Structure 1
Amino acid sequence: MGVSPDTAQGLLDELFLISRALRRNLAQPEEGRLLPGGISVLVNLESAGPCRQVDLAAQIGISASAMSRHITELVADGYVLRNTDPDDGRAIRVEVSSTGHELLGRIRESRIQGLQEVMADWTQDDAERARHILHTLRSQLIARDSRNAAADHQKHSEERIDVQ
């Protein structure tokens, strides 16, 4: 069976509480000026590189309208640039501006320093084990999401065929 329901619930609780503690303890004042999730959008856009908003929204798993609000705010603050898509002149691509890269650099530096302070009594091996376990969990969640998305796509394809 693997993990008991009580252990799974305890882990979910800890992950939720860790997420809140990270935001409270490691957030930089500049982050508070953005919509909740704005930094996540910026980080994901930096990772994706120049792309269409709709593609970024799908990658992150948020609605196109939520992405539009984030991008509008990030553009207004100078963290994101909108440019014509060179492959399709009618489409717009977004990308992180130099100001956005600078903001992410400051945030990363501040968060790293804060986490190092919190983990001052950890060994390097402890930190590596924790990172490995969390990486494995995230990878398995992503794989599950991909499997579910593929199954949903297959189901909807079959439904379209049945309707026709």
Structure 2
Amino acid sequence: MPISSDTAQNLLGEMFHIGRALRIALAFSDAGQLPPGGLGVLTTLDVAGPCRQVDLAADLRITQSAMSRHITELVGAGYISRQADPSDGRAALVQLTGEGRDLLYRAREIHTRHLQETLNDWSEDDAEQAFLAVRRLRNSLNSRARCAPADENPQVSKERTDV
């Protein structure tokens, strides 16, 4: 049985508020000139390894023009590098640099510590149950995105469960 409209609207509202709260609570002061979404690009590259810009955009479900801006800014900051794709000289592969990996790991440590402090009154079981519910929600959203008509979701790719 599908969920009610009220429940769906309440859940959407909470997800919006969670997104805003996360951006505020997990602000990373050591990110320098990192563009919004830059840590997402670095995280995806850390998992995927060297990849084409088009594949990276699909994984992140963003447009090619948005990805181009991210790549340009991240290359300029020294956090990623671009090199010719050995299998297709017309394409380029992007990958993390040592500086980008260091920045990403510092951000992860700070974010982890901050979330632990924020949830200090939660039990391990409460946090695990929240993780499972959020992962299930993400998987459902990703499943819906893969089934959407092309004009509704032009950026569809394989799901990442380890990001």
TM-score bin, normalised by smaller chain: 0.7 to 0.9
Which residue in the other structure is 1:100 paired with?
100
Q: Structure 1 residue 2 and structure 2 residue 5: aligned?
A: no
Q: Quick one: distance in 1 between partners of 2:138 and 2:152?
A: 21
Q: Report deviation, 1:34.
A: 2.0
Contact 1:51–1:95 (Cα < 8 Å) also in 2: yes
CA RMSD of aligned residues (A): 1.9
Contact 2:33–2:77 (Cα < 8 Å) also in 1: no
The TM-score normalised by the length of structure 1 is 0.86
Q: Report deviation, 1:138.
A: 0.4
Which residue in the other structure is 2:138 paired with?
138
Paired positions, count? 153
Letter in 1 for 2:5: P
Q: Report deviation, 1:3.
A: 1.7
Q: Quick one: distance in 1 between partners of 2:150 and 2:35?
A: 31
The TM-score normalised by the length of structure 2 is 0.87
Q: Report deviation, 1:90.
A: 2.6
Q: Quick one: distance in 2 between partners of 1:85 and 1:121?
A: 49
Summarize the Cα distance change of 1:111–1:94 in structure 2 as closer, same or farther, 3 Å threshold.
same
Q: Quick one: distance in 2 between partners of 1:120 and 1:128?
A: 14
Contact 2:31–2:103 (Cα < 8 Å) also in 1: no
Q: Quick one: distance in 2 between partners of 1:63 and 1:43?
A: 18
Q: Quick one: distance in 1 between partners of 2:88 and 2:50?
A: 14
Summarize the Cα distance change of 1:152–1:40 in structure 2 as closer, same or farther, 3 Å threshold.
closer
Q: Structure 1 residue 69 and structure 2 residue 69: aligned?
A: yes
Q: Report deviation, 1:142.
A: 0.7
Q: Which has the higher contact order (CA 8 A, sep 6+)?
A: 2
- Which SS does the other structure have where 2:125 is aligned? helix
- Which SS does the other structure have where 2:35 is aligned? coil
Summarize the Cα distance change of 1:78–1:12 in structure 2 as closer, same or farther, 3 Å threshold.
same
Q: Structure 1 residue 147 and structure 2 residue 147: aligned?
A: yes
Which residue in the other structure is 1:11 paired with?
11
Q: Report deviation, 1:150.
A: 7.3
Q: Which has the larger radius of gyration?
A: 1
Greater helix share, 1 or 2?
Answer: 1
Deviations 1:22-61 (A, max 9, x none): 1111111133622221111221222221111112112212
Contact 1:57–1:63 (Cα < 8 Å) also in 2: yes
Q: Percent identical across equivalent pairs?
A: 52
Contact 1:83–1:94 (Cα < 8 Å) also in 2: yes
Q: How does 1:12-91 map to 2 (within 5 A)?
A: 12-31=12-31, 33-91=33-91
Summarize the Cα distance change of 1:15–1:79 in structure 2 as closer, same or farther, 3 Å threshold.
same
Bigger shift: residues 87-96 or 71-80 = 87-96
